C-alpha cells in the first residue's frame, strides 16, 4: 500500500504437543516466549521471538485433539547461526535426523524436523 509501511509480524504453525514444541524452539533453537494467550478449551497461542525481536513465530496448540497433515505449499522455517558445526554436533548428540548442504554448495546449512515434522533450516549467517 502506498504511504503505508508493511512489516512482517509473525508466522503461525499448528502443533500437536506444546511442551515438545517449546523444548525444540526455546530449548534447542534458543527462542524466547514473549506472550501466551489461553483461549480456554479451544487453544493456547504461544508467541516466540529471537534476540532481535523483529519477528515472531506463533505456536497454536488446539486442545480438541485434532491431528494435522503438513501441506505441500509450506516450505520451511529458517534460522541463522554463527557456529553451524556446534549445532550439527548438538543435533547428532540428540540423535536427530538431518540433511546437510553439499560441500560444493555456496551456502552451509542443515535441515532438521521439529516435533510436528515441519522442516527447519539452520544456516550460517554468512550464507546470506
The catalytic residue positions are: 121
Burial of 80 (0-12, 13-18, 19+ CB in 10 A): middle
Contact 61, 18 (CB under 8 A): yes
The alpha carbon of residue 76 and the mean position of all alpha carbons in its chain are separated, in whole angstroms, by: 8
Query: 3-class DSSP state for residue 36?
Result: strand
Amino acid at each position: 500500500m502506498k504511504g503505508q509501511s508493511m512489516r512482517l509480524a509473525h508466522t503461525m504453525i499448528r502443533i500437536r504437543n506444546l511442551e515438545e514444541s517449546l523444548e525444540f524452539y526455546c530449548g534447542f533453537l534458543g527462542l524466547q516466549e514473549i506472550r501466551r494467550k489461553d483461549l480456554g478449551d479451544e487453544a493456547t497461542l504461544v508467541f516466540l521471538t529471537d534476540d532481535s525481536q523483529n519477528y515472531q513465530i506463533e505456536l497454536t496448540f488446539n486442545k480438541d485433539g485434532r491431528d494435522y497433515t503438513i501441506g505441500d505449499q509450506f516450505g520451511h522455517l529458517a534460522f541463522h547461526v554463527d557456529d553451524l558445526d556446534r549445532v550439527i554436533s548438538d543435533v547428532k548428540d540428540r540423535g536427530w535426523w538431518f540433511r546437510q548442504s553439499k560441500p560444493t554448495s555456496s551456502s552451509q546449512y542443515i535441515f532438521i524436523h521439529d516435533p510436528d515434522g515441519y522442516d527447519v533450516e539452520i544456516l550460517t549467517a554468512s550464507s546470506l
